[in-house]
Each structure stands twice: as C-alpha cells, then as structure tokens.
C-alpha cells in the first residue's frame, strides 16, 4: 500500500496569507499551522501537509533575487523529504518568481505549484480556497512512474500553467493569469483534466537535482515606444555594471532603424553585453528578419527571444549571467529551451 504524499506549503507573503478580522474588519496574517481547521475540505485529500513561512513575509512588490535564493534553498533543504511543494506568493510578481525558480532547479523530478489569490483567504468571495485546495491536490498526484507533474507550475482560477510561460493579465479579475503562447497543462472542473502531451518530460528519472543560486541582478528591460530619444537609450545602455539587456520591441521583433539606435546597440554588444529581443505583444513571437525593421537587429547579433515572456526572459538572463555563460555562448543557450520556457 502506497504511503500518503507529503506536501510542503511555503508562504513567502501576499494576499492569500491574509485573513479578515470580522470584529475590526482589518486584515491579519493567516496561521497556516491551523490550515485544515480553517479549510476542512483539505481533510478529504489523502496527504500530509507541513508549512514553512518566511520569517518576515514580503509583499510581492518587494520580491527580489535574494528572496528567490531564499525560496530555492527551502526547497533544496526539504527536497528529499516531500513529494511535492506548493508555493504561496503575491500575484504581482508571481510569474517572475516562478519563472526564476524553474531555471534555478535543474533536473527537477517533483511538482512545484505556485498559487495565490486576488482576495484574502477569509473574504466572503475569496478565490483563495479553491486555488489552494486544487494546487495541493495537483502536487499530490502520483502515477506508477512517479509524480504526475515534475516541473514548476502556476495554478490559478481553474487552470494549471507551465510557470515560465505565464504573465499576469488582470489586477481585478479572478482569471488573473494567462499563458498566451502555450496551452494550459490542466483544467479544473468537475474533474481535473490534464493535457498530458504538454507536460514537461524528462529523459531520465535518475538525474540528481542541481540547484543554481548564482543570480545576477545587473540586467535591464529597455521597452521601446514611439519617440524614444537617443539620450534615454544611451543612458540606459550605459548603466554602470550593466551585464544584460532585454529589448522589448514592437510586433514580431521590430525596432527603429535610425543609425543612432542601431549604433548604440552595437556598442553595447561590443562590450560583451548580450541583448535579447522580446515582443511587447501579449502573444506571438519574435521573427527577426521578417521585416526590414528587424533585419538590422539580426545583422548586428541581437538574440531572438522567440515566444518567451518578458518575465521568463529576465529570469533566464539573470540565471545565465549568474552562471557566467560566456558572451560567445550566450546566444546558443538563450535560444535553446532549457525548462520548456520557449518553443523550439
């Protein structure tokens, strides 16, 4: 007889960890040690749940690379004692954090499911209970060959996504997240229906987990807009200690063709600073060379971000620079899907 799965719940901060005091109407921190008493439906799940909370829970707006390392160290320390992990964090930066964790954990063989909520767990119309219950249930699922899920995911409002494919699309709707360029891994209704062919498959179940903690924060997002000036672009590209640039271009990777703009990008590349081209569009991908306005970017050596999200691109760049990937090899590594974050 198989044992009940052990699930570790990790709370970093965010709305889902708040509960309303009905006397004062104020929000206070939720005590996750009494989780099953507050959410008795969890007793229907055949699993053992333990929890770890950040000593000082943080608002998602204060999430940074150091907190990513702190989170991944908790998972590393408890990896062999638990069958799955559910991470509760603020929604505003959840896609950034979940994407980063996917790169920081190489050869992951267990589920890590990120979730949160738009309303506090004690609110009358809260989405927190459903998100939390289903996220935990997904983390418990086992098959003969091992866990049903063996990647970093994000569950929100009846859909399970590959985390490094997601972006937050609404600050008000319960359907707060979407995965514009990759189908949901599962949909929750009367039944949990998985799209098995979209799940990340591993070549070997025996590969040892490798934890990458060297995250370099010296990167910048340069978002183009009509009328952007030479002075602004020049200032951004000459930030002291800058080591990487995500260029948010128009449409399928298009940018100004003015000489001053191309020259500034070329000077940056000659310093050994990689530049990755991602689209500002919610969906679609960069196809450099498709239009004349992207041909020059291709010619000078700008890297194509393909259909990667900005959130995943910035996380991947921080990871690769932290791992000291050489400028010469950076293009090859970035344009190669490492954790299913982009299409082939």
The yes-or-no verdict on residue 2 having pLDDT over 70 is no
Q: Mark whether 229 is an active-site residue.
A: no
Structural domains of the chain sorted by starting position, each given as residue range(s) with its CATH number in brackets: 6-211 (3.40.50.1170), 219-334 (3.40.50.40)
Quick one: 56 exposed, middle or buried, by C-beta within 10 A (0-12, 13-18, 19+)? Answer: exposed
DSSP assignment of 142-210: EETTEES--SEEEEETTEEEEGGG-EE--SSSS--EE-TTS--SEEESSSEEE-GGGS---S-TTPPPE
Query: How far apart (Å, rounded) are the C-alpha atoms in residues 225 and 294?
Result: 15
**pLDDT for 285-328, tens place per residue?**
999 888 887 899 999 999 999 999 999 999 999 999 999 999 99
Asked if residues 178 and 167 have their Cβ atoms less than 8 Å apart, the reply is: yes
Task: Write out the H or E segment, with its range, that includes residue 134.
Answer: helix 128-140
Query: How far apart (Å, rounded) are the C-alpha atoms in residues 134 and 191?
Result: 11
The yes-or-no verdict on residue 140 having pLDDT over 90 is yes
Nearest 5°: CA angle at 122, between 121 and 124?
A: 110
Catalytic residue among 12, 15, 89, 140: 15
- List Cβ neighbours of 342 (8 Å cut-off, separation of 6 or more): 305, 306, 307, 308, 312
**pLDDT for 68-97, tens place per residue?**
999 999 999 999 999 999 999 999 999 999
**pLDDT for 24-61, tens place per residue?**
777 777 777 777 777 888 888 989 999 999 998 999 99
Which whole number is the average pLDDT over 213-230?
A: 98
Predicted pLDDT of residue 42: 86
Mean pLDDT of the chain: 94
Query: How far apart (Å, rounded) are the C-alpha atoms in residues 95 and 177?
Result: 9
Asked if residues 103 and 313 have their Cβ atoms less than 8 Å apart, the reply is: no
């Amino acid at each position: 007889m198989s044992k009940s799965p052990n699930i570790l719940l990790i709370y970093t901060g965010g709305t889902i960890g708040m509960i309303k005091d009905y006397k004062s109407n104020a929000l206070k921190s939720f005590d996750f040690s009494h989780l099953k008493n507050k959410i008795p439906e969890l007793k229907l799940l055949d699993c053992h749940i333990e929890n770890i909370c950040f000593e000082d829970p943080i608002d998602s707006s204060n999430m940074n690379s150091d907190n990513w390392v702190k989170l991944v160290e908790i998972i590393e320390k408890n990896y062999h004692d638990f069958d799955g992990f559910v991470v509760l964090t603020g929604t505003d930066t959840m896609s950034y954090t979940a994407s980063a964790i996917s790169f920081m954990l190489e050869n992951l063989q267990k589920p890590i499911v990120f979730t949160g909520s738009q309303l506090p767990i004690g609110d009358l119309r809260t989405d927190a209970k459903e998100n939390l219950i289903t996220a935990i249930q997904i983390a418990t699922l086992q098959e003969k060959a091992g866990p049903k899920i063996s990647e970093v995911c994000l569950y929100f409002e009846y859909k399970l996504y590959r985390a490094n494919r997601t972006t937050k699309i609404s600050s008000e709707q319960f359907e707060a997240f979407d995965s514009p360029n990759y189908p949901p891994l599962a949909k929750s209704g009367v039944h949990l229906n998985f799209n098995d062919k979209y799940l990340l498959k591993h070549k070997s179940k025996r590969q040892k987990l490798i934890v990458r903690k060297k995250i370099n924060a010296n990167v910048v997002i340069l978002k183009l807009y009509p009328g952007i000036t030479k002075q602004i672009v020049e200032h951004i590209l000459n930030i002291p200690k800058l080591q990487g640039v995500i260029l948010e271009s128009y449409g399928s990777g298009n940018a100004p063709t003015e000489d001053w703009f191309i020259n500034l990008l070329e000077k940056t590349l000659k310093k050994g600073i990689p530049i990755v081209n991602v689209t500002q569009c919610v969906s679609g991908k960069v196809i450099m060379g498709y239009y004349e306005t992207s041909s020059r970017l291709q010619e000078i050596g700008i890297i194509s971000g393909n259909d990667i999200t900005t959130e995943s691109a910035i996380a991947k760049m921080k990871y690769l620079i932290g791992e000291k990937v050489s400028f010469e090899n950076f293009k090859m590594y970035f344009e190669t899907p490492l954790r299913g974050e982009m299409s082939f």
